[in-house]
Amino acid sequence: MAMDIQVYYDEEQSVSHMALRGEVDIYTSSELKAQLQRLSKDHPDKDIRIDMSQLDYIDSTGLGVLIGALKILRPNQRNIYLINPKNNVRKVLKITNLDQIFQVEGDLHDEP
């Protein structure tokens, strides 16, 4: 499965939004990196909220991209919020301790 990224900046709330769908791996992470770098450089003083509810998979390559974007935002005391990750995504965030680095929101999902 490929990856789809929707991005918009909410002027009213002063927050950057991103919605991820599909799979982020060594192949698709370059597109995520380009979009996140653009967002974090265009609006370095704003938080980024990433909707992960339709993200089926992410590996260390994708996590590295998120870490890189966070390092651009951190000097401005901004953060990246990961919204409603699926259980498997939440698990890899926990394994790598990144659930303590990023702000993770949403409850565990009931999955078969």
Partner 1 sequence: MMNPSMDRICMSMPCKPQYVNVVRMTVSAIANQMGFNVEDMEDIKLALSEGCSNAIRHSEGSFFEVEFSMESGGLKISVMDQGKGCHENYQASPDLTNPKEEGGLGIYIIKSVMDEVSISTKPGEGTRIEMMKALEASK
108 backbone dihedrals φ, ψ, rounded to 5° = -60, 145
Tracing tokens 């995504």 back to the chain, one arrives at 89
Contact with partner 1 (CB under 8 A): which of 6, 13, 14, 96? 96
Confirm or reject binding of residue 11 to partner 1 (CB under 8 A): no
Strands (E), 39-79: 48-58
Confirm or reject binding of residue 27 to partner 1 (CB under 8 A): yes
Tracing tokens 């999902």 back to the chain, one arrives at 109
Confirm or reject binding of residue 26 to partner 1 (CB under 8 A): yes
Strand 80-83 versus strand 3-10 pairing type: unpaired
Confirm or reject binding of residue 74 to partner 1 (CB under 8 A): no
Confirm or reject binding of residue 64 to partner 1 (CB under 8 A): yes
Using CA atoms of 92, 56, 68, 99 in order, give the dihedral in degrees to the nearest 10.
-40
Contact with partner 1 (CB under 8 A): which of 53, 61, 79, 84? 61
Where on the chain is the footprint of partner 1 (CB under 8 A)? 1, 23, 25-27, 57, 59-61, 63-65, 67-68, 71, 87-88, 91-92, 95-98, 101, 111-112
